[in-house]
Amino acid sequence: MPGFSDRDRGRDRGYGGGPPRDRLRKKHWNLSELPKFQKNFYQEHQDVTHRTVQEVEQFRRTKEVTVKGRECPKPILKFNEATFPSYVIDVINKHNWSDPTPIQSQGWPLAISGKDMVGIAQTGSGKTLAYLLPAIVHIQHQPFLEHGDGPICLVLAPTRELAQQVQQVAAEYCRASRLKSTCIYGGAPKGPQIRDLERGVEICIATPGRLIDFLECGKTNLSRCTYLVLDEADRMLDMGFEPQIRKIVDQIRPDRQTLMWSATWPKEVRQLAEDFLKDYVQINVGALQLSANHNILQIVDVCNDMEKEDKLIRLLEEIMSEKENKTIIFVETKRRCDELTRRMRRDGWPAMGIHGDKSQQERDWVLNEFKYGKAPILVATDVASRGLDVEDVKFVINYDYPNSSEDYIHRIGRTARSQKTGTAYTFFTPNNMKQAGDLIAVLREANQAINPKLLQMAEDRGGRGRGGRGGYKDDRRDRYSGGGRNGPFGGSGFRDADRGFGSKGAFGGSKAQNSGGYGGSSDGYGNGNFGSSSNGQGNFAAAGNQVGAFGSQSFPAGPAGFGAMQRAAHNSLSHPPFPFAPQPPSQIPQLPPPPPMVPFPMPPNFPQ
């Protein structure tokens, strides 16, 4: 079952992949014997106090903030209203952000008041600071750490890269607050991590496997932990992680404060989450159903597996001729990731691959190269689908459709971070048919144009609802059989030596030849009920009014078809033409072998 076993759920394998070993005993807590601690530090700012109930309701309505649960404080509208210490505000001010995002506006007062909570808001909407800054307030009110004490705040994250990223954000604010933080994750030497823990850290960001390892051998403990965060909580509670989370949470006093965050909150985890929460408040920003960040233009191409590679190349030619062209291509399996990266590099594309079977050294190197270096194309499995914040990613391509609609939301959410916009292309094949209904719902919610072929597919399926989370059973087939050795990458589609990349070293040299592919006429399926103007739900104050944000946005002239398509969709003037008209195989000219590969940054030889 290679399609199944090779799937990369980005799990920290430090734990060995099996069920948790039983070296950690479940603690039995007697609350009356535990030292008392405070968790409500919220003092409402006078401007907030003066705000009327109507004003609060008006704010929540315009920002689409929904609150469920008892005693949720009023939102704060300005950074200073959150009453953070001045050294925290100083760091915020350095970023020149205009206002808190809606999840911060409502999440900060709630978290500072000590309540357990679930915070659900779009990808790229600033959830990391929504939980980290209240953590600093929480810690500042606790007794100092003593020798042998473990962390006061524990943040659990599903991937090593995300854990490291959160640690970078934490470190920025910890420096100003004279707090110490560290990141505990698998695949890296244990020595430095153990030394950090021994020195004492108030904030520990961890992937579950390595943390359990350290807890088992007594390198740290959670008896001081009173502020627990599950970032990407639905992922942390799904079947891949849940036993480990339980094991960790059993080590933490039950009167702790627990906070869960994600952009998606499928019903399958809601009940389970309640095992870890007490009298909690849930905040949702945006639609209550599964929803994508509205700053993303979503384009779905319904095609066959065999067509994908050719389409990918044509798409990349367009993208690479754009000034801002940072792109993540998501594939389903590690093997596919390796194959696609190899073929792309062979043909001169500046691509790098990342997946869970690579050494951590290589994963870190590749991600850094993508963030700051010369490789604008990252081929990735779902190991990169959650939480990663690379600000200038402009395009996400779902080469293989993900296994769950939640993963789709997170993957495309790697673009349009903060106030930015981005575009997501998705190849959708008959194999993915059972997910058509969910995808249509997501597109509709975001006022996107819907490919009639997708609608047709959903109709053919008889309008059946969700196929269940993950759909593992149905998905065990070998996904890459369709694109095997003789598939399009090995075939002439990808060997098109006329493309203008390869030995010429410049991409998109032949963009003219493609303009028809992505542009073309917009007829075919009426216009009207799409476009993004009707939603008022931006992540950020500045993007709150999308009509304005998109209306005033000038997209780069770019290649005719592509640029035009973006403009059309974002302004909802006319239907974006569906690109990717499949080329009958007979029309693909037989061309000479591809040019030799151009030297793009090669990962050093990392031991695996």
Residues that bind ligand ATP (CB under 6 A): 97, 100-101, 104, 123-129, 263, 387, 389, 391, 413, 417-418, 540
Task: In angstroms, give the least distance from the CB of 325 to ligand ATP.
Answer: 20
Q: Which residues, other chains included, contact 564 with Cβ-Cβ below 8 Å and sequence gap of 6+?
A: 519
Task: In angstroms, give the least distance from the CB of 92 to ligand ATP.
Answer: 8
The CA distances from residue 552 to 67, 533, 534, 548, 568, in Å, are: 32, 12, 15, 6, 13
Q: Closer to ligand ATP at the Cβ: 128 or 341?
A: 128
Alpha carbon distance 40, 50 (integer Å): 21
In DSSP terms, 258 is beta-bridged to 228
Q: Closer to ligand ATP at the Cβ: 103 or 457?
A: 103
Task: In angstroms, give the least distance from the CB of 169 to ligand ATP.
Answer: 7
Residue 124 binds which one of ligand ATP, Mg ion, none, with CB within 5 to 8 A depending on kind?
ligand ATP
Alpha carbon distance 58, 81 (integer Å): 18
Q: Closer to ligand ATP at the Cβ: 220 or 327?
A: 327
Residue 421 binds which one of Mg ion, ligand ATP, none, with CB within 5 to 8 A depending on kind?
none
Q: Closer to ligand ATP at the Cβ: 126 or 558?
A: 126
Residue 349 binds which one of ligand ATP, Mg ion, none, with CB within 5 to 8 A depending on kind?
none
Alpha carbon distance 594, 534 (integer Å): 47
SS3 content of the chain, % helix, strand, coil (to 5): 40, 10, 50
158 sits near Mg ion (criterion: CB under 5 A): no
Task: In angstroms, give the least distance from the CB of 91 to ligand ATP.
Answer: 11
Report strand pairing: 327-330 vs 181-184. Answer: unpaired
Q: Which residues, other chains included, contact 171 with Cβ-Cβ below 8 Å and sequence gap of 6+?
A: 181
Alpha helices in 242-373 (DSSP H): 242-249, 267-274, 308-320, 334-346, 360-372
Q: Closer to ligand ATP at the Cβ: 308 or 417?
A: 417
| Closest residue to bound Mg ion by CB | 387
Task: In angstroms, give the least distance from the CB of 312 to Mg ion.
Answer: 28
Alpha carbon distance 507, 505 (integer Å): 7
The answer to whether the beta carbons of residues 466 and 440 sit under 8 Å apart is no
Alpha carbon distance 424, 459 (integer Å): 24
Q: Which residues, other chains included, contact 468 with Cβ-Cβ below 8 Å and sequence gap of 6+?
A: none
387 sits near Mg ion (criterion: CB under 5 A): yes
Residue 258 binds which one of ligand ATP, Mg ion, none, with CB within 5 to 8 A depending on kind?
none
Residue 298 binds which one of Mg ion, ligand ATP, none, with CB within 5 to 8 A depending on kind?
none
Q: Closer to ligand ATP at the Cβ: 127 or 247?
A: 127
Q: Which residues, other chains included, contact 313 with Cβ-Cβ below 8 Å and sequence gap of 6+?
A: 493, 494, 496, 499
Q: Which residues, other chains included, contact 183 with Cβ-Cβ below 8 Å and sequence gap of 6+?
A: 163, 164, 166, 167, 193, 204, 205, 206
Q: Which stretch binds Mg ion (CB under 5 A): 2-10, 192-200, 359-367, 381-389?
A: 381-389
Residue 123 binds which one of ligand ATP, Mg ion, none, with CB within 5 to 8 A depending on kind?
ligand ATP
| Structure letter (DSSP) for residue 594 | P
Residue 129 binds which one of Mg ion, ligand ATP, none, with CB within 5 to 8 A depending on kind?
ligand ATP
Q: Closer to ligand ATP at the Cβ: 101 or 295?
A: 101
Q: Which stretch binds Mg ion (CB under 5 A): 168-176, 380-388, 474-482, 517-525?
A: 380-388
Task: In angstroms, give the least distance from the CB of 97 to ligand ATP.
Answer: 3
Q: Closer to Mg ion at the Cβ: 197 or 260?
A: 260
The residues in 118-157 that bind Mg ion, with binding defined as CB under 5 A, are 127
Q: Closer to ligand ATP at the Cβ: 413 or 500?
A: 413
Handedness of CA 239, 244, 250, 253 (dihedral sign): negative
- The binding site for Mg ion (CB under 5 A) comprises 127, 387
